[in-house]
A and B are shown apart, each in its own frame.
Chain A
Amino acid sequence: MLDWLPQNVSTFGSEIDKFFYVIYYITTTVFFLVTAAMIYFLVKYRFQEGKPARYYHGNNTLEIVWTSATLVAMLILAVASKPLWSKIKQNPPPAEVIIKVTGKQYNWEVLYPGPDGAFGTDDDYQVDNNVHVPVNKVVHVLLGSIDVIHSFFVPQLRLKQDAVPGREIVAWFEVTEAGSYEIPCAELCGFGHSGMLGRLIVHSPEEYEQWVGQTWPDN
């Protein structure tokens, strides 16, 4: 089933996938064990003439065993997920490129700081929907919205973060492969929600320099 995952091109994406696989194997095993036990019981203990049911009310040892076993397994899973979660959402590595992305019905407004590296100055460059970034660089996205909640989703980066009016939320990623990827909006934002679609264009370093030179205003 996991073959259906879109190709991953971000640094942390492969770690998310690894967790996805681990949980997938655990839950699939549990599912097959439970189902096998159920089918076995249903066949073995089906009604048969002269074979009465057991008068049996349960077993406290078993209850304690399976409760603590699942509890321990679940806690391990939670604790194991923590570092990855912190890495993606809490402790971003220092930014090498910073851009601002603002959701608005039904476009992503993308703002580049321009040559001076600061937002809100005359040399900022703004464009709708096209996010140009260099490959193998840590990119910080300062995410906001001017109207309703949107969600910045790049399936191939395994990145999703809601954009909330009134807040600036920092999302980050580092892409490992140049190319062009879709940025759908993942949070219902009105009748144009479907089709609210940006594009992430990941350049090789040379290409990126070239793009900056051609499009950013001169200082």
Chain B
Amino acid sequence: MSEATAVKEHISHEHHGFMNTYIFSLDHKMIGKQFLLLGLIMLLLGGGLALLVRWQLAYPEQPLPLIGASQHYLETGEAETAMDSYWDSELSKTEDEQGWLVQKMPVGIITPAFYNALFTMHATIMVFFVVMPILVGAFGNYLIPLMIGTRDMAFPLLNMLSFWIAVVSGAIMLAGFFVPGGHAATGWTGYPPLSTDPAWTGVDWGQNLWCISLIVLGISSLMGSINYITTIINMRAPGMTYMRMPMVIWALFIVAILLLLALPVLTAALAMLVFDRLAGTTFFNPAGGGDPLLWQHLFWFFGHPEVYILILPGMGITSEILPVFSRKPIFGYKAMVLAMASLAFLSWIVWGHHMFQSGMNPSMGMTFMITTMVIAVPSAIKTFNWLGTLWGGSIRFTVPMLNSLAFVSMFVIGGLSGIFMASSAVDIFIHDTYYIVAHIHYVVFGGSIFAIFAGVYYWFPKMFGRMMNEPLAKVHFWLSFIAFNCTFFPMHILGVGGHMRRIYNPMQYEFLQQFEHMNIFITMSAFALGLTQLILLFNVFHSMFRGKKAGDNPWNANTLEWTAATPPPHGNFDAIPTVHHAPYEYSAPGISEDWLSQTNELQPTNGNGH
């Protein structure tokens, strides 16, 4: 196996001081933690936007709680509460003098234009600034060098730049909220012509900043992915063959390849969109010979690999945790790797399933229906192998395990709901309804976010040297699991009832009147789900400083990160470890413990060799 080439330079670049340690750190572990922090902050914001959306859907055009005007004020015009006086004074100003809040939600009622910006930014932030930074940025950076047994990433400087460019991109994205005309309001999918001409939405620089931010983020992803690929190919510890790599490393490796190939497609599409908006080109404008569907092809050619970018690391984390807490080798290692590779390959040829009703030539519907049906197969293989891993185990219900089990069962629901939409005929009815919203959230929240929970609980002791509070973590898990299902399962029913997505007020439609109570129930569950996440945040920050000290290997796990000191020092290992066997040799016969670090030999030797 290849040597860790960067060792020498690496040790010498160790500087001290606050700036170099915490801000412009070149250490992959600090960069991983920085991505985690970025993601968690954005999670709060993205979640908050979702709750505003949910409020509007349950109580359309009613003032928000706490900040909205009182009923008394709305009826009589007499200010009763402090907020009433605030709204009263704001509304008496001229339009240019009015504050930000009153433009977005006069008297606490969300306007339709702001509502569109809310769900657009909710999805954009969750996909690009929460799930990607945490699953790919944080876990990727933190875990890759530690788990393949090297001292750092191949290109530490590129790694640092990748983080700070992501921060710049985030700042550009957030700036969009405060420009005249408001933020992008065309959905996270940004379909033209709605997104190309400010005349259609009233949104001007908001949409431009949305494009620019994502272009900048693409640069950050590119840097990250090149780094991951190079590191994994070149810097594995001696004995760490490809087929001895932990599943999460396989997942991140495949994701890095997807990122490398998919993000440039989005960047190209975004550049065309910016040109259409600012330079008068007509890529997407039929009047100038362009085609609105061109965007959809480009977007989804990126977009479907993107959804696998969001889920593969979660699959990897789950595959990591299930064997540890079943105390058993993973079932079908090779099949699992092959399944992930085929998911990655197939993800390039299914994009048309997002466009069945778009006006794309319907004979392509059949092709995309077949490929989409086929992509369900590797997903099924993964599920069966996870079940196989549980079979015959000695299962410990730790918090990472509970979250991983939730991942598996929620992913099953999300995968199965995908089959309905994969059938292009059935999709005619459920496309653009809440059925899709339910599907998305079962895979991305039930999947990716539960995997994030699992991963944070599992690797926290290594990252911060302390255990997280277990009772609190269990409360967080069960409340999240229940509230998640109460929030998103009923959305399948809304979808079956024909409830469109991205509408401001369902009560404008006769056929949706019957769903008023269900929408209220969903909203209350969503608020419960949101509040529950405060437990997680408290636990993370409290345990970071006050948690019980963790040993080097609190879970008795085999992979290399657990052989490093806790928390690992700069350079990770005293000496580069040598790997002797596959990562999941738990409960091997002839060994007194039920685990066996990858650095120890599988067959006990008699001292004189074989």
Contact = CB atoms under 8 A, between A and B. Distances in A.
A42 B405 contact: yes
B500 A197 contact: no
Given A23-B423, A48-B394, A58-B333, A190 B201 contact: yes
Interface string B401-444: 00001001100110011011011111011011100000000000
Interface of A: 1-2, 4-6, 15-16, 19-20, 23-24, 26-27, 30-31, 34-35, 37-38, 41-42, 45-48, 51-59, 62-63, 66-67, 70-71, 74-75, 77-79, 81-82, 84-86, 88-90, 105, 147-149, 151, 153, 155-156, 158-167, 169, 182, 184, 186-195, 197
B200 A190 contact: yes
Contacts of B589: 55
B391 interface: yes
A164 B359 contact: yes
Best-surrounded residue of B391, B409, B417 (most CB of chain A within 10 A): B391
A147 B193 contact: yes
A20 B116 CA distance: 31
Given A74-B377, A149-B194, A82 B369 contact: yes
Contacts, number: 280
5 contacts: A6-B511, A27-B420, A59-B388, A62-B384, A193-B503
B193 A165 contact: yes
Contact of B390 (A38, A63, A187): A38
B376 interface: yes
B394 A53 contact: yes
A24 B588 CA distance: 42
A153 B503 CA distance: 14
B362 interface: yes
B362 A151 contact: no
A58 B292 CA distance: 49
Interface residues of B, number: 95
B116 A149 contact: no
B106 interface: no
Contacts of B155: none
Nearest to B591: A55
A47 B396 contact: yes
A70 to B, nearest CB: 4
A58 to B, nearest CB: 4
Contacts of B576: none
Main secondary structure of the interface of A (DSSP, over half): mixed
B296 to A, nearest CB: 9
Contact of B425 (A5, A57, A81): A81
A62 B384 CA distance: 10
Interface stretch (B164-172, B183-191, B246-254): B183-191
B373 interface: yes
Contacts of B18: none
A20 B509 CA distance: 24
Given A45-B326, A77-B423, A78-B373, A148 B194 contact: yes
B303 to A, nearest CB: 16
B498 interface: yes
A160 B432 contact: yes
Interface of B: 111-113, 115-116, 185-187, 191, 193-194, 200-202, 286-287, 291-293, 326-335, 357-359, 362-363, 365-366, 369-370, 373-374, 376-377, 380-381, 383-385, 387-388, 390-397, 405, 408-409, 412-413, 416-417, 419-420, 422-426, 428-429, 431-433, 492-493, 496-498, 500, 502-505, 508-511, 586-589, 594
B188 to A, nearest CB: 11
A48 B394 CA distance: 7
Contact of B293 (A31, A88, A164): A164
B420 A6 contact: no
A74 B334 CA distance: 23
Nearest to B339: A67
A194 to B, nearest CB: 4
Given A63-B381, A182-B510, A89 B365 contact: yes
A188 B302 CA distance: 21
Contact of A167 (B286, B383, B385): B286
Nearest to A56: B392
A51 B394 contact: yes
A38 B496 CA distance: 28
7 closest A-B pairs (Cβ-Cβ)? A166-B286, A54-B392, A155-B498, A194-B504, A58-B332, A89-B362, A74-B373
B90 to A, nearest CB: 21
A79 B357 CA distance: 19
A163 B293 CA distance: 11
B292 A166 contact: yes
A16 B429 contact: yes
A218 B112 CA distance: 42
Contacts of B187: 188
Contacts of A105: 200
Contacts of B426: 16, 19-20, 23, 81
Given A70-B380, A74-B373, A188 B493 contact: no
B510 to A, nearest CB: 6
A62 to B, nearest CB: 7
Nearest to B514: A4
